[in-house]
């Protein structure tokens, strides 16, 4: 009788990939999960995230519970708490994460740097590893180990003109043209297709997520002991090699004693071939325990996902709900994500002694778009109400920031009894007489912000946002349109904002058009109940305060600091 896991029609029908966080000591780990049965762990290459492994993860889920992790320092997982971690530390960190998840034994699939971690996990934790399967195993000559990190792992430094965005775009693309990417001659041409623009866009966003810290995890590849690890292996390890992969020629460096297998070039065929190998060495145990909620970490928001309809919404929260004390709910800038409000969530919870919650609206940040990706204000307002229902929030103090203020007004109009107090923080409010013309002129120099082959969509977003701090409107650069005050155009801040607002590029232009075209002053006039209007002096949308004041609303200027905003909200 075979001990291979059996497929289940029930398991395969309607399987959903879900995302989760788990607290491991003082760090947070992000991962995705799909399927049931024994556990297979997938470890991505640097500098990507679990997202690059979704295709094989879904294939493995036909027979296994497939868990794909953001390795430390990549995606949404924290760095390891050491200045220079090694591959062995990443392997031990995986064991600690499995402890936190209540999982005893797994099979491990790793790609490139993930392959090194998989091999070390098999070597250091043989009782917990039934089998390791690599997809491209790095093996470097000593001269390469010593010389390449300095030239290959270039620092990421934000520059005022946004050139670092183009550098990252072509650096990520170039690794599919040459290998290594910075050896640009015929001898180093890659044997593969250049991936599509959506793939490159995602990779650039992941590189921006890791930031300059991407070099910490990536550099471990060049310090790893390589083939010397094979002497310590006590469980089956198969080294897989795919034609077209940048490490395909490394198969020639493997000793005869190593188990090497050539994997098909095409992605789906490769995943199915890998599945057959995994089935020959399944781990012990059945379906692991259900995912746990993420534990709190001092001074940080707690991250988790909540199921809303057929999808998940990322939620960040801080503070504890007291008896009879309704929470603050913050709606993030649009386009953007709740991470842009992270500091305010923590500070407001501290000052108000209430729970404070922010979440990514569908099609933004880490919340997937709903079917059709409707980015109308009404659709997003209904999505926000659906999320409140899923969180069990009956009533709240609602705060909307920039484009999120528009959605907050729509929420208050749809469900007035659920909004105890409404605060708009630098809302997008164009005057009715100028609205249509201003939107036409605003978007005339721009495209649709969808990923382009040359990465210019990122530069357009960068300079639109930067020029909003210098002129109003941004595209009218006459001296009489120059904005007063000190512009907040720090390259690091702009990089952060562009990264978060362009995570799901398909939503960028539609939602910006939607919030700019929505009649916020008129709808606000129809609302009843406490309403506060705040404006940050140097906010990109601060000039909109004039339209609100012209409509008879009182607008209070506040400093652009989390502590000052929190003090005003909790007063």
SS3 at position 307: strand
pLDDT at 54 over 60: yes
Name the DSSP letter for residue 376: -
- Region of 381 (left: φ > 0; alpha: ψ -120 to 50; beta: rest) is alpha
Name the DSSP letter for residue 129: E
- pLDDT at 7 (0 to 100): 72
Beta bridge pairs of residue 535: 557
- pLDDT at 11 (0 to 100): 47
- pLDDT at 5 (0 to 100): 77
Whole-angstrom Cα distance, residue 502 to residue 201? 9
Tokens found for residue 364: 């933004």
**DSSP string computed for 515-546:** HHHS-HHHHHHT--S-EEEEEETT-TTGGGHH
For the chain, which residues make up each domain, given as ranges? 9-138+224-279, 154-213, 302-431+518-570
Question: Among residues of the chain, what percentage have pLDDT more than 70?
Answer: 98
Whole-angstrom Cα distance, residue 25 to residue 55? 30
Confidence of residue 447 (pLDDT cuts 50, 70, 90): confident
SS3 at position 493: helix
pLDDT at 6 over 90: no
pLDDT at 4 over 80: no
C-beta neighbour count of 4 within 10 angstroms:
14
**Long-range CB contacts for residues 481-489, cutoff 8 Å, separation at least 24:** 483/543, 485/537, 485/538, 486/538, 487/538, 488/538, 488/560, 489/160
SS3 at position 394: coil
Tokens found for residue 506: 């398909």
Task: Please name the residues in contact with 104: beta carbons below 8 A apart, sequence gap of 6 or more.
Answer: 98, 128, 284, 285
Task: Please name the residues in contact with 124: beta carbons below 8 A apart, sequence gap of 6 or more.
Answer: 88, 91, 92, 95, 232
184-199 average pLDDT score: 96
Rounded to the nearest 10 degrees, the angle between the axes of helix 456-468 and helix 163-174 is 160
- pLDDT at 154 (0 to 100): 94
pLDDT tens digits along 347-369: 999 999 999 999 999 999 999 99
At residue 433, φ and ψ (nearest 5 deg) are: -70, -25
SS3 at position 527: coil
The Cα-based distances of 417 to 200, 378, 391, 405, 545 in angstroms read: 45, 17, 17, 18, 27
Confidence of residue 15 (pLDDT cuts 50, 70, 90): confident
Confidence of residue 323 (pLDDT cuts 50, 70, 90): low
Spatial contact of 478 and 488, defined as CB atoms under 8 Å apart: no
Whole-angstrom Cα distance, residue 262 to residue 160? 46
Question: Among residues of the chain, what percentage have pLDDT more than 90?
Answer: 92
Tokens found for residue 455: 């990465």
Sheet containing 556-558: which strands, arranged edge to edge? 302-308, 311-318, 356-359, 328-331, 396-401, 419-425, 531-536, 556-558
According to CATH, the superfamily of the domain at 302-431+518-570 is: Alpha/Beta hydrolase fold, catalytic domain (3.40.50.1820)
Spatial contact of 402 and 535, defined as CB atoms under 8 Å apart: no
Q: Which CATH class is domain 9-138+224-279?
A: alpha beta
- pLDDT at 10 (0 to 100): 39
Whole-angstrom Cα distance, residue 68 to residue 41? 6
Whole-angstrom Cα distance, residue 16 to residue 376? 26
- pLDDT at 322 (0 to 100): 65
277-301 average pLDDT score: 94
pLDDT at 26 over 90: yes
Whole-angstrom Cα distance, residue 288 to residue 20? 14
Whole-angstrom Cα distance, residue 330 to residue 106? 40
HEC letters along 455-477: CHHHHHHHHHHHHHCCECCCCCC
Tokens found for residue 177: 């043209």
Tokens found for residue 402: 């920039």
**DSSP string computed for 15-67:** ---EEEEEEETTEEEEEEEEE-SSEEEEEPPTT--GGGGHHHHHHHTTTSEEE
User: Which residue in 400, 332, 409 sits closest to 363, CA to CA?
Assistant: 332
Whole-angstrom Cα distance, residue 170 to residue 178? 11
Whole-angstrom Cα distance, residue 500 to residue 512? 14
At residue 106, φ and ψ (nearest 5 deg) are: -140, 165
SS3 at position 69: strand
- Region of 102 (left: φ > 0; alpha: ψ -120 to 50; beta: rest) is left
28-35 average pLDDT score: 98
- pLDDT at 53 (0 to 100): 98
Tokens found for residue 528: 């009843």
pLDDT tens digits along 71-130: 999 999 999 999 999 999 999 999 999 999 999 999 999 999 999 999 999 999 999 999
Whole-angstrom Cα distance, residue 237 to residue 129? 10
Sheet strands (E) in 223-327: 237-241, 259-262, 302-308, 311-318
Tokens found for residue 498: 């562009």
Confidence of residue 9 (pLDDT cuts 50, 70, 90): very low
First to last CA, the chain: 70
Task: Please name the residues in contact with 86: beta carbons below 8 A apart, sequence gap of 6 or more.
Answer: 220, 223, 224
What mean pLDDT, rounded, does the chain reach? 95
318-339 average pLDDT score: 90
279-306 average pLDDT score: 94
C-beta neighbour count of 137 within 10 angstroms:
28
- pLDDT at 292 (0 to 100): 87
Buried/exposed code over 401-419 (b: 16+ C-beta within 10 A; e: otherwise):
bbbbbbbbbbbbeebeebb
pLDDT at 136 over 60: yes
- pLDDT at 83 (0 to 100): 93
SS3 at position 446: coil
- pLDDT at 14 (0 to 100): 53
Helices (H), 224-266: none
């Amino acid at each position: 009788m075979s001990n291979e896991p059996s497929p289940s029609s029930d398991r395969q029908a309607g399987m959903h990939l879900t995302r989760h966080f788990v607290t491991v000591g003082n760090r947070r780990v992000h991962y995705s999960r799909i399927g049931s049965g024994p556990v297979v762990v997938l470890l991505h290459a640097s500098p990507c995230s679990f997202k690059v492994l979704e295709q094989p993860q879904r294939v493995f889920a036909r027979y296994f519970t497939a868990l794909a992790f953001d390795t430390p320092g990549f995606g949404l997982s924290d760095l390891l708490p050491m200045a220079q971690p090694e591959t062995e530390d990443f392997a031990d960190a995986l064991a600690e994460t499995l402890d936190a998840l209540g999982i005893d034994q797994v099979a491990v699939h790793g790609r490139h740097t993930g392959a090194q971690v998989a091999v070390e996990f098999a070597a250091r934790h043989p009782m917990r590893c039934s089998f390791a399967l690599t997809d491209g195993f790095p093996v470097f000559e000593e001269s390469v180990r010593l010389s390449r990190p300095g030239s290959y792992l270039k620092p990421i430094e934000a520059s005022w003109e946004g050139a670092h965005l183009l550098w990252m775009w072509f650096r990520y693309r170039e690794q599919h043209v040459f290998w290594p990417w910075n050896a640009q001659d015929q001898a180093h041409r890659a044997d593969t297709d250049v991936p599509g623009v959506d793939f490159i866009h995602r990779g650039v966003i992941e590189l921006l997520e890791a930031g300059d810290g991407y070099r910490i995890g990536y550099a471990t590849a060049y310090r790893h002991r390589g083939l010397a690890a094979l002497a310590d292996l006590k469980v089956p390890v198969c080294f897989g090699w795919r034609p077209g992969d940048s490490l395909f020629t490394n198969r020639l460096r493997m000793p005869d004693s190593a188990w090497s297998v050539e994997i098909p070039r095409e992605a789906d065929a490769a995943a199915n071939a890998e599945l057959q190998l995994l089935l020959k060495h399944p781990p012990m145990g059945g379906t692991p325990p259900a995912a746990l909620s993420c534990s709190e970490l001092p001074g940080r928001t707690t991250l988790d996902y909540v199921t809303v309809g057929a999808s998940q919404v990322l939620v960040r929260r801080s503070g504890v709900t007291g008896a009879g004390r309704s929470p603050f709910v913050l709606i993030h800038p649009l386009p953007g994500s709740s991470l842009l409000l992270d500091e305010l969530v923590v500070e407001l919870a501290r000052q108000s002694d209430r729970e404070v919650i922010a979440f990514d609206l569908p099609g933004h940040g880490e919340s997937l778009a709903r079917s059709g990706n409707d980015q109308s204000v009404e659709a997003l307002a209904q999505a926000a109400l659906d999320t409140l229902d899923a969180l069990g929030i009956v009533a709240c103090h609602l705060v909307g920031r920039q484009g999120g203020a528009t959605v907050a007004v729509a929420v208050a109009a749809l469900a007035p009894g659920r909004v105890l107090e409404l605060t708009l923080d630098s809302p997008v409010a164009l005057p009715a007489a100028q609205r249509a013309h201003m939107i036409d002129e605003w978007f005339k120099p721009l495209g649709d912000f969808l990923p382009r082959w040359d990465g210019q969509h990122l530069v357009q977003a960068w300079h639109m946002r930067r020029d909003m701090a210098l002129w109003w409107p941004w595209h009218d650069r006459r001296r009489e349109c120059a904005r007063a005050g000190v512009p907040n155009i720090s390259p690091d801040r702009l990089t952060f904002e562009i990264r978060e607002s362009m995570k799901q590029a398909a939503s960028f232009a539609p939602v910006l058009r939607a919030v700019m075209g929505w009649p916020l002053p008129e709808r606000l006039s129809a609302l009843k109940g406490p309403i506060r209007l705040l404006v940050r002096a140097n906010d990109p949308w601060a000039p909109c305060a004039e339209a609100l004041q012209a409509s008879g609303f009182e607008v209070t200027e506040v400093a652009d600091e989390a502590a000052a905003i929190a003090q005003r909200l909790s007063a």
